[in-house]
Amino acid sequence: DNKKKQSGSTFQYDAFISYNAQDEPWVMEELIPKLEGEQSWRLCLHHRDFEPGRPIIDNIVDGIYSSRKTICLITKNYLKSNWCSSEVQVASFRLFDEQKDVLILVFLEDIPTHQLSPYHRMRKLVKKRTYLRWPKPGEDTKIFWQKLKLALEAKEGHKSDPLIP
């Protein structure tokens, strides 16, 4: 509740990045150079920005609520992780609680719908929202990065607003 009150228009980060540690090479090699390096976005990354010695769940909640958006990098590893599950739950709660477009789902690999079945909340989000898919090897990534930039720039409108125009 006290997060809601603090949720003014000033944010410490542009985006909280929710990902599985096994997908960290993609975060380090693709995401950070593109978003922080080329586009000067300020990202909240648990390996770098979480406060040591503090309960992880507190770091997660603070990271999500002090960021304009949350980007969930969905992989099979992500779906198996309890911490990733907690992050997407907190981000989903904020989405429904604030009625603002604060969540961006990025699928780094193909995941059949039946594998999302145990993750009811995520399956509902995927059905209702636009999400981004990382291109297959050999495909051009320019359009992906343009769409992600648009999603990050989008104002936190009402949750029924489309993520990407």
Task: Quote the tokens at residue 105.
Answer: 């789902």
39, 37, 45: which is closest to 70 by C-alpha?
45
The strand ranges marked E within the chain are 13-18, 43-44, 67-74, 103-107, 132-133
Q: Do the beta carbons of residue 124 and residue 89 sit within 8 Å?
A: no
CATH of the domain at 58: 3.40.50.10140
One pLDDT digit (tens) per residue for the chain, 165 residues: 444 444 455 799 999 999 999 999 999 999 999 999 999 999 999 999 999 999 999 999 999 999 999 999 999 999 888 888 889 889 888 888 888 888 898 999 988 877 776 665 666 666 666 688 999 888 999 999 999 999 898 875 544 444 433
Quick check: is 78 in a domain? yes
C-alpha R_g of the chain: 15
Q: Which domain holds residue 22?
A: 13-153
Quick check: is 8 in a domain? no
Rounded Cα distance, 165 and 158, in Å? 14
Quick check: is 6 in a domain? no
Quick check: is 165 in a domain? no
Quick check: is 5 in a domain? no
Quick check: is 108 in a domain? yes
pLDDT at 65: 93
Give pTM, 2 decimals. Answer: 0.82
The count of domains in the chain is: 1
